[in-house]
A and B are shown apart, each in its own frame.
Chain A
């Protein structure tokens, strides 16, 4: 008898960490639902994956998740697909899509890109897929980073409108990932949901070379050479998806729980949660 495979959604799945995670998930017989920005990237990624795992179940949805309309559209496409393919159950959501920007840029809603994509996109997608996740007692993973440390939320200027700093905006967005994971555990642990932040370490991906200027490009091109292959952090994602009893820790690096910033606390988490609900015009069931 064939074992029913479990579905996992991976955003930012066409390259870097997301792509490696997809590979590993397919290898372990998960049904993979990838999300990427453009149709071309998604098709190319799908072809590469199918070539390696011809038996694998892999489907892609595309959309520029920096804009909220696009996130809602992609989410509803995924829900349709889950209904047809997986009994409306989602085993894991991996909120991995992220960007770096050299300059202050805004989404269609006028929200700063790194905040909008690295945090708000995951905030909406999680909300839209939560019923499916609850049914499967699923897991929610975030690609956070050690750069969330040594950073405080800039509550008075969340979108860096007083003067943009690419690195600080990135650090804050990764702190947001930790705070959101914290909130999800607080709210839905008793429903069987477990949320984690993953520190992938320094990874050799092209994140700093996409839509950035000369300086950020140059700095990242040098820095990424010291990074590990994205296959390394992918193992941590797989472990968190497969481990029988979900661990109680919040933050993982190289398969092990790691220390996170003291800024990741209930006060900050609640505050960010309320602001995010307001900015996305959605309300999580309490």
Chain B
């Protein structure tokens, strides 16, 4: 099994890379952060005594992705699995934010994800089964004031993944969408979790288990994975209540959490 992981130098990407290495898979890692990519490559190689391929790439650039694909062809790598982990989030109200940072979310979470997925699918070995994982979020379940663009981008991925799954079913491709709650990936993520008090702890999923189950479920051909009983219940509740009400409740919750978060940052 050859696995291509995007965003591999981030907290979730590293955990996925580690899980795959533990399963004995071959890895090709990519990320825009070159020094971080080197660190995880060496870390895995030392830990498991394996050889890991790593190549920096700016997924938002056509040229950079073309370079990456050229490298993959040259090295005769045929990925069997694509883990679309690269993504970003910016906190804050729409008009309070710099428009560039809002558009960056769209560029990376959507454009870039589609670009690399398309490129890899074009190159894949059509005789064997292929697996794609999209990292969406629990935020994809509802409209989210103060995280409007981020949540909508994750909704896009969820719907897109379902549709793509159907399109490619007959071509031996399996598509899974991961919709986690909070993940303790970075110092900022921890701030985000603590700012929600007890609910932060309760909706946070253990990364080591999330990555393990994600791979298992992808291999089993499942369509969606929402880790955690509470998160699954929350997502069901989201479907039962009117959108307007849910949005209102989320606004109250996020304004509160965001105030805490800003205090913590200060």
From A104, A109, A161, contact of B22 by CB (8 A): A161
Please, how many angstroms separate the alpha-carbon atoms of A279 and B48 in the complex?
9
Stretch at the interface among A208-216, A243-251, A253-261, A266-274: A208-216
Please, how many angstroms separate the alpha-carbon atoms of A111 and B44 in the complex?
9
Instruction: State whether A109 touches B39 (Cβ < 8 A).
Output: yes
Is B93 in the interface zone, CB < 8 Å from A? no
Chain B, Cβ-Cβ closest to A64: B187
| Chain A interfacial positions (CB closer than 8 Å to B) | 67-69, 101-111, 160-164, 211-215, 217, 278-281
B219 to chain A, nearest CB (A): 18
A261 to chain B, nearest CB (A): 26
For B17, the chain A residues whose CB sits under 8 A away are: 110
Instruction: State whether B46 touches A108 (Cβ < 8 A).
Output: no
Please, how many angstroms separate the alpha-carbon atoms of A67 and B47 in the complex?
15
Is B14 in the interface zone, CB < 8 Å from A? yes
Instruction: State whether B197 touches A104 (Cβ < 8 A).
Output: no
Instruction: State whether B9 touches A103 (Cβ < 8 A).
Output: no
Decide: A163 near B206, CB < 8 A? Known: A68-B39, A279-B46.
yes
For B39, the chain A residues whose CB sits under 8 A away are: 67-69, 107-110
Give 16 CB contacts A-B under 8 Å: A68-B39, A104-B15, A106-B11, A107-B43, A108-B43, A110-B14, A110-B15, A110-B39, A110-B43, A160-B208, A163-B209, A213-B190, A213-B200, A214-B201, A280-B46, A281-B42
Chain B, Cβ-Cβ closest to A68: B39
For A279, the chain B residues whose CB sits under 8 A away are: 43, 46-47
3 tightest A-B CB contacts, nearest first: A109-B43, A108-B39, A103-B184
CB under 8 Å from chain A, chain B span 187-218: 187, 190, 193-194, 197-198, 200-201, 204, 206-209
Please, how many angstroms separate the alpha-carbon atoms of A67 and B33 in the complex?
15
Is B185 in the interface zone, CB < 8 Å from A? yes
Instruction: State whether A213 touches B46 (Cβ < 8 A).
Output: no
Please, how many angstroms separate the alpha-carbon atoms of A162 and B207 in the complex?
10
In the complex, given contacts A109-B42, A161-B22, A213-B193, what are 13 additional A-B residue pairs having Cβ atoms less than 8 angstroms apart?
A103-B204, A106-B14, A106-B15, A108-B9, A108-B35, A108-B40, A109-B43, A164-B206, A213-B200, A214-B194, A215-B198, A279-B46, A281-B42
Is B36 in the interface zone, CB < 8 Å from A? yes
From B35, B187, B190, B208, contact of A161 by CB (8 A): B208
A interface SS class: loop
B228 to chain A, nearest CB (A): 13
For B185, the chain A residues whose CB sits under 8 A away are: 105
Is B177 in the interface zone, CB < 8 Å from A? no
Residue with the greatest number of chain B CB neighbours at <10 A, chosen from A106, A111, A212: A106
For B204, the chain A residues whose CB sits under 8 A away are: 103, 213
Please, how many angstroms separate the alpha-carbon atoms of A279 and B44 in the complex?
9
Chain B, Cβ-Cβ closest to A211: B190
For B194, the chain A residues whose CB sits under 8 A away are: 212-214, 217
Is B18 in the interface zone, CB < 8 Å from A? yes
For B209, the chain A residues whose CB sits under 8 A away are: 163
Please, how many angstroms separate the alpha-carbon atoms of A86 and B208 in the complex?
45
Please, how many angstroms separate the alpha-carbon atoms of A279 and B39 in the complex?
12
Instruction: State whether A111 touches B201 (Cβ < 8 A).
Output: no
Instruction: State whether B200 touches A105 (Cβ < 8 A).
Output: no
Contact with A along B14-51 (1 / 0, CB 8 A): 11011100100000000000011001101110110000
Please, how many angstroms separate the alpha-carbon atoms of A212 and B200 in the complex?
11
Instruction: State whether A102 touches B201 (Cβ < 8 A).
Output: yes
From B36, B47, B207, contact of A104 by CB (8 A): B207
Please, how many angstroms separate the alpha-carbon atoms of A160 and B212 in the complex?
13
Instruction: State whether B206 touches A214 (Cβ < 8 A).
Output: no
Please, how many angstroms separate the alpha-carbon atoms of A281 and B190 in the complex?
30
Instruction: State whether B46 touches A106 (Cβ < 8 A).
Output: no
For B201, the chain A residues whose CB sits under 8 A away are: 102, 213-215
B213 to chain A, nearest CB (A): 12
Chain B, Cβ-Cβ closest to A215: B201
For B208, the chain A residues whose CB sits under 8 A away are: 104, 160-164
B71 to chain A, nearest CB (A): 22
A152 to chain B, nearest CB (A): 20
